Amino acid sequence: MSSNLRIMKGRRKIEMKKMTNKSNLQVAFSKRRSGVFKKASELSTLCDAEACLIIFSPMVHRYLIEVAPHVTQFMGVNLHEFNAQLTKFTTQLETEKKRASELKRLHKVVQTQWWRATPTNEMTILQLNEFKGALQQMKINTTRKSEMILIHNAINPTLFFANDNFLA
């Protein structure tokens, strides 16, 4: 009876060392690769982060050693130059991201120091009431200034046109 029973081992921890059997290696690579992509997708979704994975299969190494040198030589492509350009662009991107972050921070500082720079749909009720008062005062001042100009023009029309500085 005991010969018919199979002993189940369940999930076991796999020793971390390079596999020698190429078939097992390819299977393990495929399974683990999909797991890594799933984890990166979860990280991106949960944290609203951008994730980029570059995973090369064991076959890529063989391709790069045996085929790529001939292809890149034929096409006049230098992989080291591509890598250098990629590094340069990545550095520029990080610099621009930092710059954008600093500009956003400065914009918020300006908005808090001079709240009228804030779009009206983002103002608080207190700011809107203060803005309304400032607009009403501007209307009163504009009306007074235009009345003064009209009175002055009625009294002495030649001075009005001769002296452009009066409007300033």
Q: How far is 73 from 56, CA to CA, in rounded Å?
A: 21
Query: Does any domain span residue 14?
Result: no
Whether pLDDT at 114 is above 90:
no
pLDDT recorded at residue 96: 94
Q: Are residues 31 and 56 in the same domain?
A: yes
For the chain, percent of residues with pLDDT exceeding 70: 69
Q: How far is 76 from 11, CA to CA, in rounded Å?
A: 50
Q: Are residues 107 and 125 in the same domain?
A: no
pLDDT in tens, 22-75: 788 888 888 888 888 899 889 888 888 888 887 767 666 666 666 666 555 555
Q: Are residues 97 and 129 in the same domain?
A: no
The model's pTM:
0.31
C-alpha dist (Å) from residue 86 to 14, 83, 91, 98: 36, 5, 9, 18
Query: Does any domain span residue 109?
Result: yes
Question: How many domains, the chain?
Answer: 3
Query: Does any domain span residue 1?
Result: no
Q: Are residues 168 and 138 in the same domain?
A: yes
Query: Does any domain span residue 85?
Result: yes
Mean pLDDT over residues 86-106, rounded? 91
Residues 6+ apart with CB under 8 A from 25: 18, 19, 58
Question: 10-14, 48-52, 92-96: which has the minimum mean pLDDT?
Answer: 10-14
Query: Does any domain span residue 132?
Result: yes
Length of the chain: 168
pLDDT recorded at residue 61: 62
Q: For residue 98, what are the domain limits?
A: 78-113
C-alpha dist (Å) from residue 111 to 83, 100, 133: 42, 16, 19
Query: Does any domain span residue 4?
Result: no
pLDDT in tens, 123-134: 889 888 988 998
Residues 6+ apart with CB under 8 A from 29: 57, 58
pLDDT recorded at residue 141: 95
pLDDT recorded at residue 142: 94
pLDDT recorded at residue 58: 65
Q: Are residues 71 and 25 in the same domain?
A: yes
